[in-house]
Amino acid sequence: MKNWTRHCIVFVALISPWLNHPVAAQSLQPIDRIVAVVEDDIVLRTELDRALVPVHQQLAANRANIPEDVVQKQVLERLILEKLQLQRAEGTGIRISDGEVDNSIALMAQRNQITPTDMRHNLEKEGISFSRFRNDVRKQLILQTLHGRYVATQVQVTDSEVDIELKKKNTDQGEYHLGHILIAASQSASPKELKQAREKADMVLAKLDHGMAFDKAAITYSNGQKALEGGDLGWRPLDQMPTAFIDPIRAMKVHSHSAVLRSPSGFHIIKMLGYRAKSIKIVEERKARHIMVEVGEMVDDATALQMVQEARRRIVEAKEDFATVAREVSDDKTTAELGGMLDWFIPGTYGQRVQQVLDHMDKNEISQPFRTVAGWHIIQLLDKRQQDVTEKLRRDRARDAILARKGEEAFQLWLRQMRDESFVDIRLKST
């Protein structure tokens, strides 16, 4: 069935130019154009045009003069990778409920200090379909979940790695703002392909040495995920950088760029856009316990809310033991067996929404039900304390940094491998 579907898509792709022939156009309604076939899916011209809009706006704002064919090629490649990831997510059973989408939109609105209703009105005033916006949010949540699951199952960090990382003193450094250009070369590339990729990287480096703007070079030549943002990787501590970048970064000055660097994913050039120092502070730890009812295929949003409301009523009004109710009701299996106990943790450990609720609670208070991506919760704040967590933060930061670094490297290699092994027929030139 899968091959049959692919053959049908390829057939439609092959006849699409004929359907746009003047003679055919007289008897047929205008149809969308296919710009790429991606396994059992397609990328339509309208999809590409929609994806190009924000990129064109960004380039105009940055006054970047990039050839249109280069921009379209980069955007199309991003859409192809997105299609492949969504197919893989569907195949592995990743689903995002309407409730999770609603919660994500509510958080976006909150960050912009407006209501979800106002956000919807603002989008519609700009001509953006709210249903399409919801679909885009759902798609991004699926991609995030896929990334998280892959890293969680494929990447591990040992205590020995943390010890080694701390001895390097990477975690004591400040934060670096980096630009990045990747000339991709798969691990299975032939010597000829590696030579061509290296020559392309050397050519880009020569252009940079002769004054070409780094962001323009990234948009034009880079295969990196941030190519369309001018290769901007944002601010990161040294210990969250790819391994191949760490030593060169130490030797670089702000506004300078590196030589060509080699990694399993290809050839890189990085630029130091900025540096800022970072210090560790005393933090206020919290101790709490919670009950969570997961929203999913078995339990819808309204039912989950009712279950959490009933759990709160049993604890507050019927004076039942919180721990007993948590063991009976909570879907968070890790904490349910502990009576919902979260023990001591620093701000932000369990996400922004949990932190917002705790910030407005008194000791021993039990919250009203609140929603997160996972489901509906109630939480009880048990205690607060000022704590010097320097050593714990150093180890946690080192562990998170290693996980982020190894995870990103592994995920990018997986994406490149998936792209190389997938059936992709690009038809952009014929559109």
Give the span between the Cα atoms of 194 and 182, in whole angstroms.
13
Handedness of CA 127, 131, 132, 137 (dihedral sign): positive
- How far apart, in whole angstroms, are the C-alpha atoms of residue 163 and residue 398? 9
In tens, the pLDDT along 69-83 reads 999 999 999 999 999
What pLDDT is recorded for position 212? 93
* pLDDT value, residue 197: 92
Residues with Cβ within 8 Å of 266's Cβ and at least 6 positions away in sequence, in order, are 182, 183, 184, 185, 186, 197, 201, 223
Task: For the chain, give every domain's residue range.
Answer: 1-67, 97-144, 173-279, 283-387
Q: So what's the pLDDT on residue 372?
A: 87
Fold agreement between 173-279 and 283-387: yes
Residue 134: Cβ within 10 Å count: 16
What's the pLDDT at 215?
93
Q: What is the pLDDT of residues 343-395, one digit of tens each?
A: 898 888 888 889 999 999 999 999 999 998 788 999 999 999 987 766 777 78
Q: Give, in words, the CATH class of 283-387.
A: alpha beta
pTM of the predicted protein model: 0.56
pLDDT digits (tens, 9 = 90+) for 89-116: 999 888 888 888 888 898 888 888 888 8
Q: How high is the pLDDT of residue 278?
A: 67
Q: What is the DSSP string of 102-140?
A: HHHHHHHHHHTTS-HHHHHHHHHHTT--HHHHHHHHHHH
Rounded to whole angstroms, how far apart are CA atoms 339 and 331?
12
- Report the CATH fold assignment for 173-279: Chitinase A; domain 3 (3.10.50)
